[in-house]
Structure 1
Amino acid sequence: MKQEKSAVIKALEALKKSPYDIDLYTDSNYVINGINSWLEKWIKNNWKTSSGKPVENQDLWQRLYELLKKHRVKAHWIKGHSGHPENEYCDKIAKQEALKVKDEKK
């Protein structure tokens, strides 16, 4: 889940001008719910979940929140590994990049 948030952060950081109208598509329900439902509640609750626990990866969510404020982002969920061409392409690239990082650590 950490990777999905990091990918969205990197994509938004790559945008040099703002604001942009962005349609964000992901197969991560966690990212979608975080953006569309939970972020505002977490902020109001001083970065605590509805059960009173600290939000996991708060630093990433805070970075993402700051980037989301610069753009108009609509987050959409798509089913992963279901033949969606763009999702399959992104999955392929993500695996390739993960292998590069793994090889660099050797």
Structure 2
Amino acid sequence: MDAKSNNAVIIYTDGACSGNPGPGGWGVFMTIDSVRKKFFGYSVNTTNNQMELLAALRGLEYLETQSNVILYTDSKYVQQGITNWIYTWLKNGWKNSKKEDVKNAQLWQAIYQKTLMHTIDWRWVKGHANNEGNMIADALAVQGRDKAIEILAGCDKDC
């Protein structure tokens, strides 16, 4: 898919986590027409894979109408999961090749529903390799993770 000829929405996503599990954040940087949008979120107890998935989901949820999308992720887990593995999971009732429940199935299912609405070209991009969109998404994910750490620092032991 060519971004210019198809008027594609460009989305860069990233996740960040301190510890695995631990406090984490997700970031989305997108361009719709010529408008740039940036947003992030966090969780005080999560995994890096969950944050990577949530970033992709939140980016797609932002789109209210059917769109052509080029979604960049530096997570092979996300890119390969949604373009390859998911078809086996669907066929096997959300079980993996070892007949175990697929990890993060609710997030995968929500993302899969978005693939039915949009035309998405899932592209892997090497992280921390001077790609502007990836660097912005990474900074947003780190901002989210830092917010989760800040919240935890203000909590007592029951938080």
Q: Normalization by structure 2: what TM-score? A: 0.63
Structure with the higher fraction of residues in strand conformation: 2
Matched, 1:6 2:54: yes
CA shift for structure 1 position 99: 1.1
CA shift for structure 1 position 72: 0.5
Q: Which residue of 1 aligns with 2:86?
A: 39
Q: Which residue of 1 aligns with 2:135?
A: 88
Q: Distance between the aligned counterparts of 1:85 and 1:63, measured in 2?
A: 28
**Structure 2 spans left out of the alignment, 5+ residues:** 1-48, 155-159
CA shift for structure 1 position 68: 1.3
Q: Secondary structure at the match of 1:25?
A: strand
Equivalent residue runs for 1:54-69 within 5 Å:
54-69=101-116
Q: Distance between the aligned counterparts of 1:51 and 1:100, measured in 2?
A: 37
Q: Distance between the aligned counterparts of 1:80 and 1:55, measured in 2?
A: 25
Alpha-carbon RMSD across the aligned residues, in angstroms, is 1.1
Structure with the higher fraction of residues in helix conformation: 1
Q: Which residue of 1 aligns with 2:64?
A: 16
Total equivalences in the alignment: 105
Structure 1 residue ranges, 4+ long, deviating more than 4 angstroms after superposition: none
CA shift for structure 1 position 23: 0.5
Q: Normalization by structure 1: what TM-score? A: 0.93
CA shift for structure 1 position 82: 1.1
Q: Distance between the aligned counterparts of 1:16 and 1:46, measured in 2?
A: 29
1:15-49 deviation digits (Å, cap 9, x = unpaired): 111x1110110110000011110111101011011
**Structure 1 spans left out of the alignment, 5+ residues:** none
1:70-101 deviation digits (Å, cap 9, x = unpaired): 10111011111111111111111110122123
One-letter code aligned to 2:64:
K
> Relative contact order (alpha carbons < 8 A, sep ≥ 6): 1 or 2 greater?
1
Q: Secondary structure at the match of 1:2?
A: helix
Q: Distance between the aligned counterparts of 1:85 and 1:95, measured in 2?
A: 15
Q: Which residue of 1 aligns with 2:11?
A: none
Q: Distance between the aligned counterparts of 1:95 and 1:5, measured in 2?
A: 15
CA shift for structure 1 position 104: 2.9
